[in-house]
A and B are shown apart, each in its own frame.
Chain A
């Protein structure tokens, strides 16, 4: 079951003189989630449009669920679900009728369509508003109806373009759980997002686009390792031990700092952090460095109250890539 459900091969797309996508290649195995990150205008929506047959690529080719997005667009459409960046529900129809319409167009009988619609409205907490016209829905409710609409046909591959933009925290987490359930049943998901925690939680692999090009790709931890700003924070029982601890850690080949727990990871983003006089921090590369830290402190007999390893967040990755981009 490990076949490739989304395969993008050198896809480019231009609009007049704007290059929205430039030689983009990626592949997504069945039952996994690809997170597509990138600044505004990076080309995320354009890529989603190409993969959902909404827009032909100018160069290159792409296959979804094994079918070519240009030559076999109809087959592709029969197997995908799409929630675009902007809600696309029929304002004049009720939530129920919106979903029934889609199910009927996909070939469901009246009864099946009604059942599927009720199921999905329930899943997205819209049962109470089911019979009201969608124009009376709040922004977040519309969004959820739109998401439900993309699931009607039990698609093999789902494209979600910034699915949680405008959702409240509870609905966001609700959507994450739904995506996780879908993936458990073998559905493949490509989602674009501006929220790094979302990509971190859901995505098995991440592709970062900048100006239409892939600038980084890998799992969340691979990308974080590339930024390499893991740090160990040691809280000593007594602040008097700090100089000894610093000395020993330096001799062990590390670069410890005192009282600046933020220094290693988010130097310029925690100006108001309270001083913690008994904390010593040091950036580390691999998790084996943790043992080095412990051994160095033990050698000089310093008593440790607390030891914490912090991983860099995707924010760090993202900012590092953005910095590279401006530098280049």
Chain B
């Protein structure tokens, strides 16, 4: 039986970077095999865009609202950030699902570095998120007449900033997933955390327009800073401390999340 005999020399293993490349390719291939997934993940932000642009359009011109800015131009930079945060949560949930369905069990039995699996997931999710945000931007321009003052040169950095926030948070959620290992809990906790973060922020209305108690929360809410940063860039407003603050916070979260995720992921899967 030529198929089984060990005449061929044993393969010598792969470097960590090759492992990451191969595993990222695998996830992207699965994504291309099912592009529905990307399209569907854009639906939710699109619906939000539609609803909010109708419901809140009246607030353009109220207290704290930047003058001469249409509501859609005000809203979209925020939707970029919140979509990115949602995608980060999905990344963590995806990891837990993979842990349960055995795919990771197979990978863990191979002579590869377990962290490669994590980094590859994070990278392929980053690419997926980028794709989502691009679709969202194109749809916003085509369907909702999004045309911010910053033009392409303002929107591009806003998009990159949203990606950076999303990527760093995805490491936080990967860490939570690697330790918690329960998709339902993550989903619930994720949504419970997401909604207050989104609404008690400057995402949909200027902070000045919020009731006092919400305003207090919004001013300490990191989401406010990320949204403000994205908006400042897209609307070509004077870029204040928000951008550097958001980037610094992202870098910090990335670092903490990465270390925690790697450590959590090293715990044996079979230990439950």
**Which A residues are within 8 Å of any B CB, using their own CB?**
15, 46, 49, 52-56, 74-75, 77-78, 80, 82, 84, 86-93, 97, 101-108, 112, 119-120, 122-123, 133, 146, 149, 151, 153-154, 156, 178, 181-182, 184-187
Contacts and interface: CB of A to CB of B under 8 A. Distances in A.
B14 A89 contact: no
B22 A55 contact: no
A141 to B, nearest CB: 15
A134 to B, nearest CB: 10
Contacts, number: 111
Contact of A84 (B11, B12, B102): B102
Contacts of B101: 88, 91
B4 A151 contact: yes
Contact of B109 (A15, A52, A56, A86): A52
Nearest to A48: B270
A182 B19 CA distance: 28
Interface in B2-34: 3-6, 8, 10-14, 19, 22-23, 26, 29-30, 33-34
A74 B29 CA distance: 28
Given A87-B102, A91-B101, A153 B270 contact: no
Contacts of B269: 54
A68 B11 CA distance: 21
Contacts of B3: 119-120, 122-123
* Interface majority SS (helix, strand, loop, mixed), chain B: loop
Given A54-B108, A93-B26, 6 more contacts: A55-B271, A74-B111, A93-B33, A101-B26, A105-B110, A107-B14
Contact of A107 (B5, B11, B102): B11
B112 to A, nearest CB: 5
A157 to B, nearest CB: 12
Nearest to A178: B4
Contact of A54 (B12, B34, B268): B268
B142 interface: no
A242 to B, nearest CB: 53
B209 interface: no
B10 A54 contact: no
A101 B19 CA distance: 10
Contacts of A90: 26, 30, 103, 106
Interface residues of B, number: 35
Nearest to A77: B111
B108 to A, nearest CB: 6
B22 A101 contact: yes
A123 B34 CA distance: 29
A86 B26 contact: no
A153 B10 contact: yes
Given A54-B105, A55-B268, A77-B109, A106 B11 contact: yes
Contact of B12 (A75, A92, A107, A187): A107
Contacts of B211: none
Nearest to A52: B109
Contacts of B1: 181, 184-185
A78 B13 contact: yes
Nearest to B110: A105
B6 A186 contact: yes
A52 to B, nearest CB: 6
B36 to A, nearest CB: 12
B65 to A, nearest CB: 45
B103 A88 contact: yes
B13 A106 contact: yes
